[in-house]
């Protein structure tokens, strides 16, 4: 950034009064602005959320998140790029599939290659060649699901790396620093993901730890370093969820997530807890249900007013041969596809369906060919992106109930 | 194809005398012709080879092979797509890398998914969405290197599948039928790859089997079903190589390959045998050294008049983390690349080098991420394609010795 540019533009307020550049000049300056806004300097100041339309029939809302790395239309599905890559795909392919934001995992990147390494290389966006928004989780979920010998104290959580057994302490403050070093656009508070099942007392204890950590995250977080989301825990107890929401809203975050769902509980329970909790969250801020879900869950949760989701289902299941279609899904290893000339789904416009038969995809999968995982992933992400786009369009037209009806009728 | 079209065009001779369609009509017909020529109907009749320039300093030659699925500039390197896929890449990526022809393995495709399955799905081109030329090996090499309990008789070779232990008999006639069912543009004769080391007597016996099989392949092959190449065996004995070449030329093939090289012998011996044998092959037909090789070997063999190569080196080594550069190669898992901002090779214009650092590639490789294999493969194929293009350009300008000098000086 040139000194001149710094002088002419005040990121927080826009153009300085009285300075009205000639068109060509403005164009040059605009380019520099875009570039600068993609660097650490001012990218984080720009986070905001606007609601464009609310469904009159359901709680669904159409919105847009503005981040320093671009906009995200909501309701949005966030593909998971655990280790700084959405497995098997390039960023260009993700863009082509309509992906606007990805998720990366603090736990994995902290352990390998190290957040310091990534920071030294210019941050996660540059490292992985993705110039869109990135949301990073806090690492909490992985500490509890992947690592060995976890020990929780008020200070934080001590754990052994699942890679080499090395010992680490993760505190709320460190979770902020790691995500900041990565250059995340949306940071998540460190929390404890309450397991299922858990008693009321266990859930309360876990919740209190999470809210205490959330306060410390907020305190340690510099607002200009990115948006910070709080995570509502509380197990499957609606009173605890309400209590958590109240405390977190009091602390004040840029968005609110529901954590500790999709951890083994029945789908109906997950929907019930979400239905009870989502209305307690600020209407004007993004609402994010973490780790969810299936197509049906996305539809139901959008109807309840959810704006964001992340889940490994489209990518992981692709690598296991499960391909999503409007009727449900097919398992490509099934012998019935051996001679099947048809694409995975008739009418699907994804690269995979446009060029390859089920027979070829089955062959690749049976032969454990690398291309199998890639073509399957392309189809599944396209399927999820199409579902989200259709839901957004339905909300825009205030036709969400009609959409939902059609969605279920196709699955019969 | 419409009956009208069939009547108007005689594939072997071109337009029927007196039929001169109006421009618009011609355009429609031309489209149909292209389509038809990509189907089995007339695609194979078009094989030919032309030499565009001969080096005055070396034996190198610049040429072009014409096939029913397009032209191939020679000297050409043929990436290996063993199981109907060049591992991890799409056909579009191969095209973008300058690949003009690929190799597929008869042995693998016969066992899985079955040549009958592929034929039923419209042939290999359609199956794998590659509309360029395909060369298929005969399956002989894999029978000898992969399968269990091989038993050779005059009739053919009985073997057990490496996949499920099932028993199979592969005869020269079947090798032709399988490759024909796949829809190959260039078919290879069934041969026995003489192991190294082998005595003169063993090599002679093996050679006699291969030449007998070659005769049977030729006899069973319908010329309109694709070009058929003979394979010169003979171990490391120049007299046997000469004997094999003489017999095969007498039988008459569309091109000639040297087989049984790069099987463990010293590089110098391989070059010596090639240097002695290549000049014995018809000047006007393509010469193909199978299973070779390293950059140095390609340069030396092009200088000796080789027109075609295939080898798994760029693709397999990519998946093992070895990336080729002008100086030689680097191993991306090396700790020194942990923080390395530089691309694999400065100045390289491949997708990988344009967008990713060595540090990111190392991270992906260490994390066993699928994208690692893909980005590495892109770089290595680009490297080999660039080498071939530079060699062709050097021959065109009659500067091959200057090229060779520069090539070696860069590797110091």
CATH number at residue A305: 3.20.20.105
**What pLDDT, on the 0 to 100 scale, is given for residue B8?**
29
Q: Of A121, A341, A369, which is closest to B339 when you measure between CB atoms?
A: A121
Domains of chain A: total: 2
Q: Of A83, A120, A339, which is closest to B120 when you measure between CB atoms?
A: A339
A88 CA: distance to closest CA in chain B (Å) = 5
Helix, strand, coil fractions of chain A, as percent rounded to 5 = 45, 20, 35
- Residue B62 phi/psi, 5° resolution? -100, 130
Whether B371 and A117 lie within 8 Å, measured CB to CB? no
Is B56 exposed, middle or buried, given 0-12, 13-18 or 19+ CB atoms closer than 10 A? exposed
Residue-number span of the structural domain to which A343 is assigned? 312-412
Asked if residue A399 and residue A331 are part of one domain, the reply reads: yes
Placement of tokens 């009956």 in the chain: B3
Give A-chain residues touching B364 at CB under 8 angstroms.
83-85
Asked if residue A248 and residue A192 are part of one domain, the reply reads: yes
Asked if residue B403 and residue B352 are part of one domain, the reply reads: yes
Task: Give the pLDDT mean for B241-250.
Answer: 98
Helices and strands (H, E) in chain A, number of each type? 18, 18
**What pLDDT, on the 0 to 100 scale, is given for residue B304?**
98
Angle, helix B370-396 to helix A370-396, in steps of 10 degrees:
110
Q: What is the dihedral of CA B335, B336, B339, B342, to 10 degrees?
A: -130
- Residue B90 phi/psi, 5° resolution? -90, 160
Asked if residue A131 and residue A52 are part of one domain, the reply reads: yes
Give A-chain residues touching B108 at CB under 8 angstroms.
367
**What pLDDT, on the 0 to 100 scale, is given for residue B148?**
78
Confidence of residue B16 (pLDDT cuts 50, 70, 90): very low
Of A241, A276, A311, which residue constitutes the final position of a domain? A311
Angle, helix B267-277 to helix B238-251, in steps of 10 degrees:
40
A173 assigned to some structural domain: yes
Asked if residue A224 and residue A261 are part of one domain, the reply reads: yes
Whether A370 and B87 lie within 8 Å, measured CB to CB? yes
Placement of tokens 């191939």 in the chain: B72
Q: Of B108, B117, B370, which is closest to A373 when you measure between CB atoms?
A: B370
Whether B355 and A84 lie within 8 Å, measured CB to CB? no
Asked if residue B318 and residue B284 are part of one domain, the reply reads: no
Give residues with Cβ within 8 angstroms of A101, minimum separation 6.
A65, A67, A72, A76, A78, A132, A133, A134, A135, A185
Active-site residue A310, yes or no? yes
**Cross-strand bridge partners of residue A69:** none
* Chain A residue whose CA is closest to B113: A363
Whether A370 and B341 lie within 8 Å, measured CB to CB? no
Active-site residue B254, yes or no? no
**What pLDDT, on the 0 to 100 scale, is given for residue B140?**
86
**What pLDDT, on the 0 to 100 scale, is given for residue A264?**
94
DSSP output for A127-180: HHT--S-EEE--SHHHHHHT-EEEEE-SS-EEEE-TTT--EEEE-HHHHHHHHH
* Chain B residue whose CA is closest to A111: B367
Whether B359 and A112 lie within 8 Å, measured CB to CB? no
Please choose, from the candidates A229, A234, A232, the residue with its C-alpha nearest in 3D space to the C-alpha of residue A206.
Answer: A234
How high is the mean pLDDT in each 10-residue block of chain A (412 residues)? Answer: 30 35 48 48 71 98 97 98 98 98 97 98 98 95 84 92 93 97 98 94 96 98 95 98 98 98 96 98 98 97 98 98 98 98 98 98 98 98 98 98 98 84
Q: How far apart are the C-alpha atoms of A204 and A215, rounded to whole Å?
A: 16
A272 assigned to some structural domain: yes
**What pLDDT, on the 0 to 100 scale, is given for residue A135?**
98
DSSP output for B331-351: ETTSGGGTT--S-SSTT--SH
* Chain B residue whose CA is closest to A89: B371
Element (H, E) at B184: none
Asked if residue B376 and residue B240 are part of one domain, the reply reads: no
Asked if residue B255 and residue B350 are part of one domain, the reply reads: no
**What pLDDT, on the 0 to 100 scale, is given for residue A148?**
78
Chain A interface residues (partner B, CB cutoff 8 A)? 83-85, 87-90, 108, 112-113, 117, 120-122, 127-129, 338-339, 341, 351, 355-357, 359-360, 362-364, 366-367, 369-371, 373-374
**Cross-strand bridge partners of residue B160:** B148, B167
Whether B370 and A371 lie within 8 Å, measured CB to CB? no
Q: Of A357, A360, A366, which is closest to B112 when you measure between CB atoms?
A: A366
**What pLDDT, on the 0 to 100 scale, is given for residue A45?**
58
A96 assigned to some structural domain: no
Q: DSSP secondary-structure letter at A34?
A: H
Please choose, from the candidates B357, B370, B300, the residue with its C-alpha nearest in 3D space to the C-alpha of residue B330.
Answer: B357
B27 assigned to some structural domain: no
Whether B371 and A121 lie within 8 Å, measured CB to CB? no
Q: How far apart are the C-alpha atoms of B105 and B179, rounded to whole Å?
A: 9
Identify whether the C-beta of residue B44 lies closer than 8 Å to the C-beta of residue B227: yes
CA B225 to chain centre: 18
Asked if residue B343 and residue B265 are part of one domain, the reply reads: no
- Quote the tokens at residue A376: 């399957």
Q: Which residue has the higher pLDDT, A11 or B139?
A: B139
A384 assigned to some structural domain: yes
Whether B362 and A338 lie within 8 Å, measured CB to CB? no
Q: Tell me: pLDDT of B12 over 80.
A: no
Whether A120 and B339 lie within 8 Å, measured CB to CB? yes
Chain B interface residues (partner A, CB cutoff 8 A)? 83-85, 87-90, 108, 112-113, 117, 120-122, 127-129, 338-339, 341, 351, 355-357, 359-360, 362-364, 366-367, 369-371, 373-374
Of B273, B288, B311, which residue constitutes the final position of a domain? B311
**What pLDDT, on the 0 to 100 scale, is given for residue A32?**
52
Q: Tell me: pLDDT of B6 over 70.
A: no
Q: Tell me: pLDDT of B11 over 80.
A: no
**What pLDDT, on the 0 to 100 scale, is given for residue A140?**
86
Chain B interface disruption, residue of A88, A124, A161, A363, most B CBs within 10 A: A363
Asked if residue B320 and residue B259 are part of one domain, the reply reads: no
Is B87 exposed, middle or buried, given 0-12, 13-18 or 19+ CB atoms closer than 10 A? buried
Tell me the Cα Rg of chain A: 22
**What pLDDT, on the 0 to 100 scale, is given for residue A24?**
53
Q: DSSP secondary-structure letter at B43?
A: G
Q: Of B117, B357, B369, which is closest to A85 when you measure between CB atoms?
A: B369
Give B-chain residues touching A364 at CB under 8 angstroms.
83-85
Q: DSSP secondary-structure letter at A337?
A: G
Interval B277-297: pLDDT, tens: 999 999 999 999 999 999 999
Placement of tokens 């769902």 in the chain: A261
Give residues with Cβ within 8 angstroms of B317, minimum separation 6.
B323, B324, B329, B380
B158 assigned to some structural domain: yes
Q: Which long-range contacts (CB under 8 A, 24 or more apart) does B153-158 make?
A: B154/B209, B154/B212, B156/B190, B156/B213, B157/B192
DSSP output for A193-259: ---SS--HHHHHHHHHHHHHHHHHHHHH--GGG-EEEEEE--TT-HHHHHHHHHHHHHH--SEEEE-
Of B311, B337, B359, which residue constitutes the final position of a domain? B311
Asked if residue B271 and residue B366 are part of one domain, the reply reads: no
Q: What is the dihedral of CA A110, A112, A113, A114, to 10 degrees?
A: 20
Q: How far apart are the C-alpha atoms of A89 and A373, rounded to whole Å?
A: 9
Q: Tell me: pLDDT of B394 over 50.
A: yes
3-class state of residue B2 by DSSP = coil
Q: Of A113, A338, A364, which is closest to B117 when you measure between CB atoms?
A: A338
Asked if residue A374 and residue A298 are part of one domain, the reply reads: no
Q: Of A112, A351, A363, which is closest to B367 when you measure between CB atoms?
A: A112
B2 assigned to some structural domain: no
Whether A88 and B371 lie within 8 Å, measured CB to CB? yes
A17 CA: distance to closest CA in chain B (Å) = 39
Which percentage of chain B shows pLDDT scores above 70? 89
Is A154 exposed, middle or buried, given 0-12, 13-18 or 19+ CB atoms closer than 10 A? exposed
Q: Catalytic pick from B137, B191, B254, B307?
A: B137
Whether A370 and B371 lie within 8 Å, measured CB to CB? no
- Residue B288 phi/psi, 5° resolution? -130, 120
Angle, helix B200-220 to helix B238-251, in steps of 10 degrees:
10
Confidence of residue B40 (pLDDT cuts 50, 70, 90): very low
Please choose, from the candidates A251, A254, A104, the residue with its C-alpha nearest in 3D space to the C-alpha of residue A181.
Answer: A104
Whether A371 and B87 lie within 8 Å, measured CB to CB? yes
Give me the half-sphere count of Cα atoms (radius 13 Å) on the Cβ side of residue A244: 36
- ipTM here: 0.90
Placement of tokens 């890449």 in the chain: B89
Whether A363 and B84 lie within 8 Å, measured CB to CB? yes
* Chain B residue whose CA is closest to A371: B88
Task: Give the pLDDT mean for B42-66.
Answer: 89
A394 assigned to some structural domain: yes
* Chain A residue whose CA is closest to B122: A341
């Amino acid at each position: 950034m040139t000194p001149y540019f710094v002088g002419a533009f005040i990121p927080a307020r826009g153009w300085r009064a009285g300075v009205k550049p000639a068109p060509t000049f403005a164009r040059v300056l605009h380019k520099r602005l875009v570039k600068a806004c993609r660097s650490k300097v001012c990218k984080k100041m720009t986070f905001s959320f606007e609601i464009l339309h609310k469904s009159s029939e359901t709680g669904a809302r159409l919105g847009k998140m503005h981040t320093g790395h671009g906009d995200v239309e909501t309701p949005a599905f966030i593909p998971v790029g655990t280790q700084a890559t959405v497995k098997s795909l390039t960023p260009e392919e993700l863009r082509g599939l309509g992906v606007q934001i990805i998720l990366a995992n603090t736990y994995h990147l902290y352990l390998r290659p190290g957040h310091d390494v990534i920071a030294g290389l210019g941050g996660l966006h540059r490292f992985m060649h993705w110039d869109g928004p990135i949301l990073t989780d806090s690492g909490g979920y992985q500490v509890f699901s992947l690592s060995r010998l976890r020990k929780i104290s008020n200070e934080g959580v001590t754990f052994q790396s699942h890679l080499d057994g090395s010992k680490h302490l993760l505190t709320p403050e460190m979770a902020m620093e790691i995500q900041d070093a990565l250059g995340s656009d949306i940071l998540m508070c460190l929390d404890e993901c309450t397991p299922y099942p858990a008693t009321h007392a266990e859930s309360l204890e876990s919740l209190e730890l999470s809210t205490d950590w959330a306060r410390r995250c907020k305190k340690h977080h510099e607002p200009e370093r990115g948006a910070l989301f709080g995570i509502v825990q509380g197990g499957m107890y609606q009173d605890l969820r309400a209590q958590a929401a109240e405390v977190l809203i009091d602390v004040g975050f840029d968005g609110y997530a529901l954590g500790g769902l999709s951890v083994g509980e029945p789908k109906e329970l997950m929907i019930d807890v979400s239905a009870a909790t989502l209305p307690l969250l600020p209407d004007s801020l993004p609402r994010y249900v973490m780790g969810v879900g299936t197509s049906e869950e996305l539809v139901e949760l959008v109807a309840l007013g959810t704006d964001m989701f992340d889940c490994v289902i489209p990518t992981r299941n692709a690598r296991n041969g499960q391909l999503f279609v409007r009727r449900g899904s097919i398992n490509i290893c099934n012998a019935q596809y051996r001679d099947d000339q048809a694409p995975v789904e008739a009418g699907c416009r994804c690269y995979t369906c446009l060029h390859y038969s089920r027979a070829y995809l089955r062959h690749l999968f049976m032969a454990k060919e690398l291309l199998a995982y890639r073509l399957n992933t392309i189809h599944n992400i396209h399927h999820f992106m199409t579902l989200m786009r259709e839901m957004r369009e339905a909300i825009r037209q205030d036709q969400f109930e009609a959409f939902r009806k059609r969605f279920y009728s196709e699955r019969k």
